[in-house]
A and B are shown apart, each in its own frame.
Chain A
Amino acid sequence: MDLIANLSLGFSVAFTPINLLYAFIGCVLGTLIGVLPGIGPVATIAMLLPATYALPPVSALIMLAGIYYGAQYGGSTTAILVNLPGESSSVVTCIDGYQMARKGRAGPALAAAGIGSFFAGCVGTLILAAFAPPLTELAFKFGPAEYFALMVLGLIGAVVLASGSLLKAIAMIVLGLLMGLVGTDVNSGVARFSFDIPELTDGIGFVVIAMGVFGYGEIISNLAQPEDEREVFTAKVTGLFPTKQDFKDMAPAMLRGTFLGSALGILPGGGALLAAFAAYALEKKMKLKPGEVPFGQGNIRGVAGPESANNAGAQTSFIPLLTLGIPPNAVMALMVGAMTIHNIQPGPQVMTSNPELFWGLIASMWIGNAMLIILNLPLIGMWIKLLTVPYRYLFPSIVLFCAIGVYSTNNNTFDVWTVGIFGVIGYIFVKLGAEPAPLLLGFILGPMMEENLRRALLLSRGDWSVFVTRPLSAGLLAAGLLLLAIVLLPSIKNKREEAFVED
């Protein structure tokens, strides 16, 4: 069989001691960096890119891929422990993971994230190996109208995530979209909403908004409460590993998350991120079993599902890169850079012209995932210790790491000023009961949506009906409408509100 022959070629490349070593270095670096809030995989890969110059191309890519996965693992760790999403796809993990940690169940939450990611990684690797060629055909069918429709669907999915008022969640998305537009318009070169500040012409950084709104906003509102009512952790940490019941709850969530993640990851345009949001929305729609913790209060499914989905999505997002040469996100764009440094033109020809690179990379993804779980499960105990640090020592440290992380992304004090502003805005959001998670999703999708809307309307000569006459796009929009209708239906609306009254 082709698949087996290909995979064995891949493993023979990846299993050389030297490549194993690079995969290991990549994973360790990635985890360390992912744990530090603010320094995401993009910054890390960008910093280490020159260092891979001297390596053979396969080893270089293997190491970079290791950093990518490692950073995702590390990012979920901070999301769970201190409610700071290290990078965009762990925003959802914060919602239930942090609540679990507050209830003394950080261990199971971290284990669920780790095991879910590993499982999804294994499946994702297999899918990548088996379906990379045929799946590219589907991606070919996606035009700008379809992308736009897909993003609308993704955003509607995000609305379901917010626990407060529906209208406010939609408004937060739109606000996020608008913030995403700050900066130079790619088409006309006009600097929009930049107030003649040169740094703003590059747009507002994701890290700046995430750190300001999630990090500082949260710290300030925590400190505002009297010490005994503070939103920190119940001192008692119960059990490092998930119980049997936990496994029972999270296994189906992992399966669903993996499936969803693999499917969405293939689509260029933030696959892993959309996947995590969609998986959480899906889990929330599933009926709660009697005695299960409601979502938003520390349900283990809310960690396992999105974590599996984002890892599966991260895996399959290599498909558009390796087969079409289209980078689906910033990290992949850097991988393209790494490939071109080594004189490899990403695209369909990689599979035939450099089979050992193509399959070696795929095999190393599995190896990287295996290494990460070996590396991370024993470390859970250590991460938990972090939680026993009193808040009075924890919050200055978080402020410091946020400030350093923000500064180091651009080596620019301007970002430190803006994160301060977003800290104030974040606190206002907390005070007004406006949830920041949908804002972040909108912020990331803003420029992409505008670009695809522009292209779609350009192709249709300004005819808006293009979104409903193309079957794929119409289907996606119909799914979005259906979702919205379900949420708005009176009976469900009441239930939804009931579910949130408790908190």
Chain B
Amino acid sequence: MQIWSTNSGWFQVFKYQNNQFINWSNNKVLDVRGGKDEEATPVQMWGNNGSKAQIWNVVYIDTADKDRTKGFNKDFGFHINRPFYLRSRMPMKRVAECHGANNVWLKRWRKNTTAQQWYFDEVSKTLKNNHWKSHSLDIQGNGTSNNVRCTTTNSRWWQLFRYENRFIKNERGKVLEIQGNVDAENRNIIMHAPHGRINQLWDVIYVDEWKGEPGKGELNEDFGLYVERTFYVVSALNDGRYLDLINNRNMVIKTSNGRNT
């Protein structure tokens, strides 16, 4: 089926009856090809078989439910309109940032940086950037590339992602990953077939629940250490020697000696 300039030929005239769109002339009905309930499945005219692929509901917009502006969208796994960080599970726990309304990079978290914040938009069903609000997470080249960027929202399949089991997944089964498994600043983010390694795992952390990184003197729970609080490292061997540095480079154990090494 296609759209075409109006000419009212028999092939353009349909009535809506018993939840079917029926051609006025040949009585064929509007049908989802193969009954495939998948994104962008074509529709066609087909003999009436009464299946669900041929049953349609006309929902007049003036009486339709308004799009939700908050709450959880189960299909996509995100809260609606609630900004979040997309934080990698790799050790540095960097976040995905929209860089200059174009590429999406891995960056260290920075306070109040809205380019690092994303939100699920219920109307477009995309992940919009909280700084570039007309831009959404997108697979470059209309989905033909593996590069991920942030570009003008269009709601096509290459902009639809759901959060599932720590993966950011698209409908073609690929997942968001840090390219080359390298946990580095400005590292590129791409789509890749899932393999489950840590560079494909993400936490969605809502900004209103984000505790921020621990400051000086505070415990970093992930690393088990207090931030910028000086300590010794003492061996559990009998003599209780201290971790030390010799020749400006090599690490050894030594008796406590009061030096900054």
Co-complex (A, B): no
